[in-house]
Amino acid sequence: MLGKQHEAVALIASAAAQAPSDPEIQFRAAEIYEQGGDHAAALNKLALAVHMGYSVADIRRDPTLAQLRKDSRYQKLVEEKAP
C-alpha cells in the first residue's frame, strides 16, 4: 500500500522460507501480490493458503482481494472450499 512492492515481496518471501507451512503467511503473500497487480501470483498464494487450511470466509471478506474476486479462478477456488 505504500508503494514498496519489491520490499514487501522480499519480506514475505523471507517469512515464507522460515515458515513454509503457515497459511497466514501464504494469505498475506496473496494480498501483497494482488496489491502489486500480479494476479497470477496472488491466486497461486491464495490457493496455497486455502490448501493449508486458511479460512475461505476470511478470504471472502478481505477488501484487498476485491478485484481478484472477478477472476473465474478465484471463484472456483473459493467455491471448491466453501462449507
Full-model pTM? 0.86
What does the pLDDT read at residue 60?
A: 92
Per-residue pLDDT of the chain (83 residues; tens, 9 = 90+): 556 778 888 888 888 889 989 999 999 999 999 999 899 999 999 999 999 999 999 999 999 999 999 999 999 988 877 65
The x, y and z cell numbers of residue 70, run together, are 472477478
> What separation, in Å, do the N-terminal and C-terminal C-alpha atoms of the chain show?
32
**In the chain, what are the domains?**
5-81 (1.25.40)
The residue with cell 477456488 is 77
What does the pLDDT read at residue 3?
A: 66
